[in-house]
Amino acid sequence: MTVEFVGDGGENIAVTMVVSNPLLDHSALVDRAKELMVQCAAFGGLPAQDRPQGNVDGGRPGIERQSDASEGPYVFEYREGGSMRRLEGVELPNLEAVHDEALRSAIDLLGDAATGPLQDGWAVRVRGGDGEVVLSVDFDEARREKAAAAM
C-alpha cells in the first residue's frame, strides 16, 4: 500500500507500507504513514555522498543514523498516576518493535486509569543502553491509537 502526500507547491512524498491488517481504513493508513514519516525524520540517515556506493535511503541529510543494535538493552519507564515503574533489560530487535511495545503498554495504562482523572503527557518512555531516552509515547497518542483500533 502506498500513501502519497502532496504539498502546496506540488511536491510529493510517498510512503510505501506492507499492510498486515486488510481491515484498516483510509484514515488509519494515513495515520500510520504519518507515523513512519516522523520516525524517518527523527532517526535520520547519512547524506548520499557520505554513504558507500552513494545509495539513497531516504534519510535526513547530514544526520547519522544510529544502529538499532547499539541501543539495547532497553529500560521501559511507565507513568501511572504520580509514580513511575521501571522495567530494565528489555531486549527487542529494533526501534520499531520498541515503539510497538511502548504503544501497547501505553494503551494498557489507559485501561488502568479508566476510573481516575484524565492523564496527559508521557505514558511510556524508553531509554537505550546509554541511558538516553530513545522514544516516548504520550497518553494522547495512546488514546488515538486505541480509538482507531476500536473502529
pLDDT value at position 29? 78
pTM exceeding 0.75? no
Most confident of 11-25, 38-52, 113-127: 113-127
Confidence of residue 49 (pLDDT cuts 50, 70, 90): very low
Q: Are residues 103 and 45 in the same domain?
A: no
Tell whether 23 is covered by a domain.
Answer: yes
Q: Are residues 49 and 84 in the same domain?
A: no
Q: Which residues of 8-35 are buried (b: 16+ CB within 10 A; e: fewer)?
A: eeeeeeebeeeeeeeebeeebbebbbee
Least confident of 1-5, 29-33, 38-42, 88-92: 38-42
Q: Is the pLDDT of residue 15 over 60?
A: yes
Query: Count of alpha carbons within 13 Å of 62, Cβ hemisphere only?
Result: 0
Distance, in Å, from the CA atom of 126 to the CA atom of 61, rounded to the nearest integer, reads 26
Interval 105-127: pLDDT, tens = 999 888 755 546 677 889 999 99
The domain containing residue 81 runs over which residues? 68-150
Q: Are residues 87 and 48 in the same domain?
A: no
C-alpha cell at 114: 479508566
Rounded alpha-carbon distances, angstroms, from residue 125 to 7, 43, 52, 78, 97: 32, 16, 34, 7, 14
Q: Are residues 50 and 89 in the same domain?
A: no
The residue assigned the cell 499492510 is 19
Q: Are residues 12 and 74 in the same domain?
A: no
Tell whether 60 is covered by a domain.
Answer: no
